[in-house]
Amino acid sequence: MTNEFINRSFITGDSTDVAGGVTVGSGSFAREYNMNHKNRGLALIFNHEFFKIPRLKTRLGTNVDAEELSKTFKKLGFDVTVHKDCKWQKIRENVEKAAALDHTDNDCLAIAILSHGEHGCIYANDIQYKLDIILHYFTDKMCPTLAGKPKLFFIQACQGYLVDGGMMLNKCRTETDGDSSMSYTIPVHADFLISYSTIPGYTSWRNVGKGSWYIQSLIEELNSNGKTNDLLTMLTFVSQRVAIDFESNMPDNPIADRQKQIPCFTSMLTRMLHFGYKPNRTE
């Protein structure tokens, strides 16, 4: 295989994608990401409460999520920016601006989107869009200074209209007792993680006074264990919190009453991710 083929650019056409790799100079056999750069990195929160689309209801409680998640990201050392009720063009501009920055001294990137969604799409203030559009800006060819670094996406949005009534389990069934300096080539979509509040096809629940089940569970887990546990372990326990601790309470709507939810995540991470200690951005 020639270097020309290995380093071929990421090309998007009308019907096919041709993806090559990018060469980075970090340890190919390192078991953990280097989280000892000067800065933790950017955290963008796109918080949607109101919409210009008539059929989309106001997302009461989302400001609780955005405010508390911002505090949590800052505790982990992120440089946080919250964008409120953005139209799609503004979201795209903010994403392009973030991707164009020099992330050499940053550990990683985090983006949280709090909105309505359905069937693989997320809603901006004015239209729906696919998450893939945003992900593309942070591929290694588009944002080379984040190559080999974690790109983390947290999505609070419905993925459909189905509800989950759950299943009663017996108690006995639920109890549970070196670095290298060589250069190497990685796929352009490596090092992404996408964590969704619910599984495809299903609704995602939000308390109008306390915030969403998923974001509040994520906040609690990151606040409790964010500087000690690895990220995938924490997301597993986020799923546990949501699955066990929450149930909808809508007695006037039998279809929606006593429903459950389970988050899911897709990981293309190639190492363990421990945030460890970074100075609090609020200090």
Tell me the residue type at 175. Answer: E
Residue 153 in domain: yes
Q: Would you say 268 and 190 are in contact if contact means Cβ atoms under 8 Å apart?
A: yes
Question: What's the total number of domains in the chain?
Answer: 1
Helix (H) or strand (E) holding 202: strand 201-202
218's tokens: 């994520």
pLDDT of residue 30: 87
Residue 192 in domain: yes
- Count of CA atoms in the C-beta half-sphere (13 A) of 250: 14
pLDDT of residue 40: 98
- Count of CA atoms in the C-beta half-sphere (13 A) of 177: 0
pLDDT of residue 77: 97
pLDDT of residue 28: 63
Cα distance between the two ends of the chain: 51
140's tokens: 């290694």
Q: What three-state secondary structure class fits 111?
A: strand
86's tokens: 């953005």
Residue 3 in domain: no
The whole domain housing 77 covers 30-267
Residue 202 has pLDDT above 60, yes or no: yes
> Helix, strand, coil: what percent of the chain each, to 5?
25, 25, 50
Q: What three-state secondary structure class fits 133?
A: helix
pLDDT bin (cut points 50, 70, 90) of residue 251 is low
Higher pLDDT, 270 or 249: 270
- The CATH number covering residue 115 comes to 3.40.50.1460
Residue 54 has pLDDT above 50, yes or no: yes
pLDDT bin (cut points 50, 70, 90) of residue 171 is very low
pLDDT of residue 7: 33
Residue 223 to residues 75, 111, 252, 263, Cα–Cα distance (Å): 8, 17, 35, 18
Higher pLDDT, 166 or 208: 208
Residue 156 in domain: yes
Residue 117 in domain: yes
Other beta carbons within 10 angstroms of residue 106's beta carbon come to 19
114's tokens: 């709090």
Q: What three-state secondary structure class fits 217?
A: helix
DSSP label at residue 150: -
pLDDT of residue 53: 93
Residue 50 has pLDDT above 80, yes or no: yes
What are the two backbone dihedrals, phi and then psi, of residue 240, each rounded to the nearest 5 degrees? Answer: -65, -45
pLDDT of residue 282: 60
Higher pLDDT, 133 or 118: 133
Residue 10 has pLDDT above 50, yes or no: no
Residues designated catalytic: 116, 158
240's tokens: 């546990």
Residue 164 has pLDDT above 90, yes or no: no
The mean pLDDT value of the chain amounts to 80
Residue 125 has pLDDT above 70, yes or no: yes
Residue 12 in domain: no
pLDDT of residue 197: 92
Residue 272 in domain: no
Q: What is the pLDDT of residues 61-86, one digit of tens each?
A: 999 999 999 999 999 999 999 999 99
Residue 273 in domain: no
